[in-house]
Structure 1
């Protein structure tokens, strides 16, 4: 959950490394390790989203409640220090008896470690454990960091951009998608304290923001998903600039794309794709998100022939028989499902289409990754909903930091 800033504007964050359970749409309960903030009681997946401003001095205290040493790494952040009673010490690999035990300073069981860095560059970043990363990161010890550019004002849409004014990263709405995968055999071995060989890693579930489809399309903070607080449904209106942030938190690469559409990649790993004044951004149909990578993209939907006055329905309407999806009694669509136009639907079919919005998938292009243990549909899949102009409130599609310690992402 997005963090709180202290009174002087410098973020002070307390994370705890703990265990817990998540659920999948097929009814499985999976043991995880994860980070939580001071308001949580068990691990959440992914960890709390940290939102800070460019130039902030960020202090993060990690308390370890797990049975082995745990740490935090901040890829893309320069000058990370560990705070001690005698001052700040640069973090680095830790060796014990000539053996590498952690890529960075760690907290022992029931111990703490305090990190500090200056968020000098805007962008999208990952944080994760730097200890036994082939186990602890797949177990769920990861989360997102968003650094707002200088001048960003959450109350002034004119200042909203990912990398600052005149960078081509201005946006009207934004979404964060953290993608990963789960090998239940690893999680069960850790729960039982049994050995596990990383070479046997074989995911069976694929997640967006800690959820498998169709749970990805449920709202944020759904009460029946208490340890998976973030949904990933994307909602926008025609022509709006939508910032979509990808973070690869898993061990595998994930080819993602919005079905039938392109996104413009504007930044990679927290670095704007620009050489001086030369714009190096480029459109992609599919973005391959590798382990630890982050992508910032601008997405706009106008439809191939869409015009709100002359052509409000940008595709031929199918016949009535083909407008109902699934068994009688439920459907994703109204009789005419596009941008405010609604028509008759078959008798006995209930429309779940709210305003005549238009839906298409955002999903992995690797077929196994859109299943839950082999069952389709599932896994790394969500929906993009294009709503008629003027129907979405300003709170939709915002990653906001508010004044509460358990501040959350408001999208509905």
Structure 2
């Protein structure tokens, strides 16, 4: 059965405008710094009838109690007993059993349903979630087989949730004054986010690769890469304390799962598909969404108008400072525009870029400076050219 070791600790993250912000978070490395978000736990269900029991050992290296909640999981226990809220002097101090500073507590739960879930601290959640004590859980169906298209699914064969690539986007928000007050042990009551994150990063860091050296505590990119016609499973997880209206350009997404439950009704006469399409999904705090996204493009045709895009003549091009050509428009929209400053090149591999961002305008800034915040890109690459590992999360990771 899967066993995960986590440590609650502190650390620092960076923002694109040069700030260094103190955080709390989880790491799976003893003695490591806090990650934002915490390590993703990926488990594959056991064969039918056999329960998939997951063990999580949490060691608390912070100076106040910390706990773990597992929304959507079944039979959750702490040190072998059903979890219980914790009280001191008849005052609720934690929604579940917590570990005191220096202690280790063992949680177990049954992963009874495939889908996307959160794990998060249940102790003083307004403070501890804001500080970064959260992460995601992906539960794979028992028949999941990454190299067989029929069984590479979010919810199991026959559920119409097949996909070619998958990406996990975890939203959060940061009030730097709040974090500084916690760092220095000062009181702080007001709350006003200035940064909004996807996978712990603000744009344009969201579009950098995984594990870039200058972001050691923010290892996860949120750049989505795909090829025309592919089915991309995009998993949203609302880990902060606010709701965020996210949407991709280029097409609607089809919601196939909500809070780790397949949107399908089983009845005596068969099944009813309850999935639905949305252009904007209000990603609620504490909620998760599994969606299938495809792109065929306005005017795209694999023979007559393919990707890579056909670049216009030199009169519609600009020359970069290294001699690279840059294109200021889109052949599918039929418009040309000014190049933003300091851009080196567009379409380096013939790819076509679409935005995925929050529709709340303050949330696409870094402390009021645009662009920033909850913004990333969907890059559509020429067929057959995208590296196989792109959009391939592990079958299991713990």
Length, aligned pairs only? 381
Q: Which has the higher strand share?
A: 2
- 1:27 aligned onto 2:26: no
| 8 Å CA contact 2:307, 2:381 repeated in 1 | no
User: What is the rounded CA distance, in whole Å, between the counterparts of 1:392 and 1:63 in structure 2?
Assistant: 40
Shift in Å, 1:307: 1.2
* Pairs within 5 Å for 1:216-365: 216-276=206-266, 277-312=271-306, 333-334=326-327, 350-365=344-359
TM-score, length-scaled by structure 1: 0.87
Structure 2 residues not aligned, in runs of 5+: 47-51, 333-338
Query: 1:338 deviation in Å?
Result: 7.1
Please give the root-mean-square deviation of Cα atoms over the aligned residues, in Å. Answer: 2.5
Equivalent positions of 1:128-147 (< 5 A) are: 128-147=120-139
166, 184, 189: which one aligns with 2:181: 189
Partner Cα separation in structure 2 for residue 332 and residue 33 of structure 1: 44
Q: 1:253 to 1:329 in 2, by over 3 A?
A: farther
Q: 1:322 to 1:376 in 2, by over 3 A?
A: farther
Q: 1:201 aligns with which of 188, 191, 207?
A: 191
Deviates more, 1:51-60 or 1:309-318: 309-318
State how far apart, in whole Å, the 2-side matches of 1:23 and 1:288 are.
27
Question: What runs of 5+ residues in structure 1 fail to find an aligned partner?
Answer: 1-9, 340-345, 406-412
TM-score (norm 2): 0.90
Report deviation, 1:196.
1.7
Distance 1:78 1:333, change over 3 A: farther
Match runs of 1:69-108 below 5 Å:
69-83=65-79, 88-108=80-100
Once superposed, which parts of structure 1, at least 4 consecutive aligned residues long, lie more than 2 Å away?
153-158, 313-325, 327-339, 348-354
Where does residue 169 of structure 2 map in the other structure? 177
CA displacement at 1:118 relative to structure 2: 1.2
Residues 1:215 and 2:195 aligned together: no
Q: 1:396 aligns with which of 354, 379, 390?
A: 390
Instruction: Give distance in 1, aligned partners of 2:325 and 2:13.
Output: 27
Distance 2:316 2:96 in 1: 57
Q: Distance in 1 between matches of 2:331 and 2:30?
A: 41
Alpha-carbon separation, structure 1, partners of 2:326 and 2:284: 34
**CA-CA distance at 1:183 after TM superposition:** 0.5
CA distance in 1, matches of 2:148, 2:156: 14
Deviation at residue 53 of structure 1 after TM alignment: 1.3
Distance 1:161 1:232 in 2: 21
Q: Which residue of 1 aligns with 2:116?
A: 124
2:53 alignment partner, one of 45, 50, 57: 57
Look up the SS of the partner of 2:187 in the other structure: coil
Change over 3 Å in CA distance of 1:186–1:357 after alignment to 2: same
Distance in 2 between residues matched to 1:284 and 1:184, nearest whole Å: 33
| Counterpart-to-counterpart distance in 2, 1:368 and 1:274 | 36
Partner of 1:159: 151
